[in-house]
């Protein structure tokens, strides 16, 4: 394994949106956990918040166990996020108590594409309540203005919870700026397969660098893609430091 980062930074770079761990053959993702750690090394990423995508599309309880094993193997590199399924709220609450309460996980991951339920549906309320209880951020996939709108409605109902707007609406990101900016506990997530020029600058202009987090979606995407958006953005070095790690550490209760 190559442990020589191509880029080093005077502060820890933290990936707030990754999927390192076991995967299912149907996902057509063949990188191993060790491959993912090597990608982090190459890009100079110190730690990554991770879930297994096996959880989201197949079995969320088995996926959470896989995330736990990945975190146990690389405790200094990986931060566990617990997957929850609103279609199974009682089991989800049990999982959250187990992993946030007993296993040291730090956040919750939701994905509307699998559940099919808008984020402001009442069935999520027990999950969001647990997020508030454990002071855990909620990272939720969004790839449309409508999905962002549902998540923001939930954020307004649970102002004590930090909501990471996964992908910031995806290809619709330019049409979500005016939606996300007024909600103080909602954060722009830069992670996305679209690499439009000026996205990071637009997020900073809309809500300030304190409301933007760096993510990569690794190993589905090479982390250098999203890292380069921040490294080469026309922002100050202080803003860059917040986005690349300072903000997510603060949200997780590990920073100022």
pLDDT tens readout for residues 51-91 = 987 666 678 898 899 999 999 999 999 999 999 999 999 99
Confidence class of residue 194 from pLDDT cuts 50, 70 and 90? Answer: confident
Q: Report the residue count for the chain.
A: 256
Domains of the chain, residue spans: 14-251
Please check the confidence at residue 185 and state whether its pLDDT lies above 50. Answer: yes
Minimal CA–CA distance to 18: which of 42, 50, 43, 52?
50
| Full-model pTM | 0.94
Residue 208, pLDDT > 60, answer yes
The domain 14-251: what is its CATH number? Answer: 3.20.20.140
The answer to whether the Cα torsion of 176, 179, 184, 185 is positive or negative is negative
pLDDT-above-70 percentage for the chain: 91
Q: Give how far Cα 134 sits from Cα of 13, 110, 159, 213, 222, Å.
A: 24, 16, 14, 20, 31
Residue 28's pLDDT is what?
59
- Residue 242 has a CB neighbour count (10 Å cut-off) of 25
Q: How many CB atoms lie within 10 A of CB 116?
A: 9
Confidence of residue 9 (pLDDT cuts 50, 70, 90): confident
Task: Give the model's pLDDT for residue 256.
Answer: 62
């Amino acid at each position: 394994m190559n442990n020589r980062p191509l880029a080093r930074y005077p502060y820890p770079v933290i990936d707030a949106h990754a999927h390192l761990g076991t995967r299912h053959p149907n996902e057509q993702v063949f990188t191993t956990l060790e491959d993912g750690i090597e990608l982090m090394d190459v890009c100079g990423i110190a730690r990554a918040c991770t879930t297994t995508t096996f959880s989201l599309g197949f079995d969320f309880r088995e996926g959470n166990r896989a995330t736990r094993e990945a975190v146990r193997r690389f405790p200094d590199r990986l931060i566990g996020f617990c997957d929850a399924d609103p279609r199974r709220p009682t089991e989800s609450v049990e999982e959250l108590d187990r992993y946030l309460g007993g296993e040291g996980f730090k956040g919750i991951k939701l994905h509307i594409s699998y559940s099919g339920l808008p984020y402001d549906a009442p069935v999520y309320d027990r999950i969001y309540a647990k997020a508030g209880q454990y002071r855990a951020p909620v990272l939720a996939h969004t790839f449309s203005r409508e999905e962002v709108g549902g998540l923001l409605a939930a954020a307004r109902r649970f102002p004590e919870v930090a909501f990471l707007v996964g992908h910031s609406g995806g290809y619709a990101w330019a049409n979500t700026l005016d939606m996300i900016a007024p909600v103080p506990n909602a954060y722009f997530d830069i992670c996305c397969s679209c690499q439009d020029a000026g996205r990071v600058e637009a997020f900073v202009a809309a809500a300030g660098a304190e409301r933007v987090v760096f993510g990569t979606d690794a190993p589905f995407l090479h982390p250098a893609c999203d890292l380069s958006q921040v490294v080469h953005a026309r922002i100050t070095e202080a803003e860059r430091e917040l986005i690349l790690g300072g903000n997510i550490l603060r949200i997780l209760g590990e920073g100022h």
